[in-house]
Amino acid sequence: MNIAFIPVRGGSKSIPLKNIKILAGHPLVYWTATAANNAKCIDKVVIATDNNEIKTTVEKFNLPKVEIYKRKAENAQDYSTTESVMLEYIDAANLHNEDYFFLIQATSPLLKSKHIDEMFTKLITDNADSALTCVRNKRFYWSEKGQPLNYDYKNRLRRQDFQGIMMENGACYINSVKNILEYKNRLSGKISIYEMPEYTSVEIDEPDDFLLIEKLMEKHKND
């Protein structure tokens, strides 16, 4: 079984109830829940929340693959790790070792169903143990001590000639339940990278991100 798992807690210091704040006409979590629900490779979508308002909002989506999991309060604090609620759910749901676990972040609403399906296909094709989504970043980076980190400034490349580096965009991670239980981590073993479009590097962390992502969603709605 392939389980998409979307953790959404009620507490958010930067944006109160961020995960159900309206984005392009729908609550934020709607976008990733719908992408996961419509992905061909996904069998079940689990929204893990500690908040009743979020629970009520998600139930109104009427997405057939979606179910709610009431996460424990101790795993929904500012200091709680995502892995803690992943492990909590895996234990509570008694998942099988061979099940695939797709961790999807609600703050990455530019994720689409096709990305999830293509990512899973690539994981299998690569014969990898786990996978993550990345974007290709063509910025030049420096240390605080004035040392170039990823290029030679004496031989500056044109942008079109620079391969760039892969940067996590936080949208989706895949691993087997067996590996997550063994390593207590969303990634392990041989890791496959699924490259998403550069514009998907934007995640929602601050209020201004809603304005930027709405424009990106409109521009790329037919991609």
Residue 98 resides in a domain: yes
Residue 37 has a pLDDT of 98
Read off the pTM: 0.93
Residues labelled as active-site residues: 156
Residue 212 domain-assigned (yes or no)? yes
The answer to whether residue 52 sits within a structural domain is yes
216: pLDDT confidence band, cut at 50, 70 and 90? very high
165-174 tens-digit pLDDT: 999 999 999 9
What is the model's pLDDT at position 79? 67
Question: Does residue 181 lie within any of the structural domains?
Answer: yes
CB 26 within 8 A of CB 35: no
For residues 103 and 164, the answer to whether their CB atoms sit within 8 Å is: no
Structural domain for 68, as ranges: 2-135+167-219
Over residues 183-212, the mean pLDDT reads 95
pLDDT band, residue 186 (cuts 50/70/90): very high
- pLDDT given at position 159: 76
Residue 4 binned pLDDT confidence (cut-offs 50, 70, 90): very high
The count of C-alpha atoms lying within 13 angstroms of the C-alpha of 168, restricted to the half-sphere facing its C-beta, is 11
In this predicted structure, what is the pLDDT of residue 195?
98
Examine the pLDDT at 76 and tell me if it is beyond 80: no
Under DSSP, the state recorded for 18 is: G
DSSP string, 89-126: HHHHHT--TT-EEEEE-TT-TT--HHHHHHHHHHHHHT
Rounded average pLDDT over 13-24 = 88
Q: Tell me whether residue 91 is exposed, middle or buried, using C-beta atoms within 10 angstroms of its C-beta: 0 to 12, 13 to 18, 19 or more.
A: exposed
Q: Is position 160 within any domain?
A: no
Task: Note whether residue 148 is domain-resident.
Answer: no
- 171 within domain boundaries: yes
Among residues 134, 130, 114, which one has the least CA distance to residue 41?
A: 114
How many Å apart are CA 174 and CA 2, to the nearest integer? 10
- pLDDT exceeds 70 at position 132: yes
pLDDT at 221: 85
pLDDT at 223 (0 to 100): 82
Which CATH number do you get for residue 87? 3.90.550.10
Render pLDDT for 23-73 as a digit per residue (tens, 0 to 9).
Answer: 999 999 999 999 999 999 999 999 999 999 999 999 999 999 999 999 887
Tell me the C-alpha distance between 97 and 1, whole Å.
10
Does residue 145 sit within a domain? no
Can you tell me the mean pLDDT for 128-155? 94
Cβ proximity of 135 and 115 under 8 Å: no
Query: What is the total count of domains within the chain?
Result: 1
